[in-house]
Amino acid sequence: MSDVLPFMRAWAANPLQVASLVPSSRALARAITAEITPASAPVIELGPGTGVFTRALLARGITQDQLTLIEYGADFAILLQRRYPAARVIRGDAARLREIGGAEGDKAGAVISGLPLLSMPLRQVFAILKSAFGQLRDEGAFYQFTYGPRCPIARPILQRLDLQAISIGWVFNNFPPAQVYRVTRRADKNATV
């Protein structure tokens, strides 16, 4: 409950940037991090907000020093630095991941995104994915959730970046219900999106 008030304040200040009145549920956090293991480290989280997914990553065996948290909101960035002092918290735009510094050292095995892609211009979504995949190992995956019935990444963006998106399930114990997608580099050029 302690995360609800800061989240509501952030939403009131900029609804398109936050895109939800309340933080994601623990059930959604477990679902979006379900495939993460210690071998996934380092991990980059985009738009961690109050750290609901961050806590789930820690529970999956990722240590704070293996986390890079990219947060645009100043208040959230301060909160995250206080809660996760050993994590690398960067206040910046996820579309400029290369310039602001993604994972240090080794390339990341996973990117977990809490960004509201559906409320962003296509050009910005393209830049975020291009930047994120520039920070990922070849076999790495980008995890994104959406409240909608289909993938929040437009098919032309997936095709242009040679990516594929697969739904890994719905979380009905979230407000509103959410669907989680795994986005990877396309291994088979004829694979469906």
**pLDDT tens sequence across 146-156:** 999 999 999 99
| Overall pTM surpassing 0.75 (yes/no) | yes
- Strands 67-71, 88-91: pairing kind: parallel
- Residue 4 is predicted with a pLDDT of 58
Rounded to an integer, what distance in angstroms lies between the CA atom of residue 4 and that of residue 22?
A: 6
Tokens 């959410």 -> residue: 178
- Residue 105 is predicted with a pLDDT of 72
The mean pLDDT of 178-186, rounded to a whole number, is: 97
Domain locations along the chain: 4-185
CB atoms within 10 A of CB 161: 16
The DSSP annotation for 80-149 comes to: HHHH-TTSEEEES-GGGHHHH--SSSSPEEEEEE---GGGS-HHHHHHHHHHHHHHEEEEEEEEEEESSS
User: Which among 148, 179, 147 has a CA at the least distance from the CA of 166?
Assistant: 179
8 Cβ contact partners less than 8 Å away, ≥ 6 residues apart: 21, 22
CATH number of 4-185: 3.40.50.150
Mean pLDDT, the chain, rounded, equals 88
**pLDDT tens sequence across 75-107:** 999 999 999 999 999 999 998 887 766 656 789
User: Which among 14, 2, 33 has a CA at the least distance from the CA of 144?
Assistant: 33
- Using alpha carbons only, how large is the chain's radius of gyration in Å? 15
- Residue 13 is predicted with a pLDDT of 59
- Residue 125 is predicted with a pLDDT of 97
